Amino acid sequence: MEMNLIKKQQGIFIKPCLDWTEQTFHLGGNLGKAFFRHCEEKNYLILNKENRSVCLTNAGEIFFAALMSS
């Protein structure tokens, strides 16, 4: 992800966003959108368009485990 391009986009760069279903915060703003797109492009997750839930793929589980351990 190219941070300088994301920072130059119109709108909010980064913000906490409350998930009403889970009652937890997640990454919002342009950075959150870019990170989500990156994860989709790398096939780390699959979006269920009917209910907006996501499922991690095997590659996603490996990616996020490595991310959390670093």
- How many C-beta atoms surround the C-beta of residue 41 within 10 A? 8
Over residues 36-57, the pLDDT tens digits come to 999 999 999 999 989 878 999 9
pLDDT value of residue 65: 96
Mean pLDDT of the chain: 92
Percent residues over pLDDT 90 in the chain: 79
Spatial separation of the C-alpha atoms in residues 14 and 50, rounded to whole Å = 26
pTM score, whole prediction: 0.82
